[in-house]
Amino acid sequence: MISAGEFRNGVTIEYEGDIYVILEFQHVKPGKGAAFVRTKIKNLVTGSVVEKTFRPTEKMGRAHIDRKEMQYLYNDGELFHFMDNETYEQTAVNAKDVGDSLKYVKENEMVKILSYNGNIFGIEPPLFVELEITETEPGFKGDTATGATKPATVETGAQINVPLFINQGDVVKVDTRTGEYLGRANG
């Protein structure tokens, strides 16, 4: 159990039957009345963010989230298949539980499977991936306007914006949290 007075950013809690991670917290001591803790918490299953206030003495269960590194094998349309590289055991996850988390992840890449009490609720892709540009308009000499971008499709089918000098076949580094182009891949 953890009391609201012990909240820290990143702590996971059980609250009203769901699991939340604390994004922000603030201890407030008004001139009149009792102190309270104002928080911004994110539901780890639905992804929704809500603001809640708690009394500092209010207690709730601490949620232990298991993060297991597994290899993403393939998607058969309804299920995404993963393999534990130590036991070679395979796990299938529903497409709705995966959501957009594998948008920038190629087959055979390592990801973290998030589970709570044995139930998988999410997937954490690597922070950065290297992907080949499969489709984009060609760049022309002289197209060097500062900050100008064009749409491009990467090998996973996702769309990103890249600078004008990037061409089809180039390998680029992408931030999986934002889908942002970070530069050409070293290779």
Tens of pLDDT, residues 2-54: 988 889 888 889 988 888 989 899 999 988 888 999 999 988 877 789 999 99
Task: With CA atoms as reference, report the closest residue to 184 among 167, 171, 168, 169.
Answer: 171
Q: Is the pLDDT of residue 1 over 70?
A: yes
pLDDT of residue 59: 92
For residues 24 and 49, the answer to whether their CB atoms sit within 8 Å is: no
Degrees (nearest 5) of the Cα angle 92, 95, 99?
Answer: 125
Whole-prediction pTM: 0.71
In this structure, CATH architecture of domain 66-124: Beta Barrel (2.40)
What pLDDT digit, counting tens, does each position of 107-159 carry?
A: 999 999 988 888 888 888 999 999 999 998 876 655 555 678 889 999 999 99
Q: Which CATH class is domain 2-62?
A: mainly beta
Return the ∠ at Cα 185 (arms to 182 and 187), rounded to 5°: 165
- The answer, yes or no, to whether residue 72 has pLDDT greater than 90, is yes
Same fold yes or no, 66-124 and 128-184: yes
Strands 66-75, 36-43: parallel, antiparallel or unpaired by DSSP?
unpaired
Domain ranges of the chain: 2-62, 66-124, 128-184
Q: Which residue has the higher pLDDT, 138 or 70?
A: 70
Does the domain formed by 128-184 have CATH 2.40.50.140? yes
DSSP assigned state of 138: P
Query: Which of 156, 62, 150 lies closest to 103 in space, CA to CA?
Result: 156
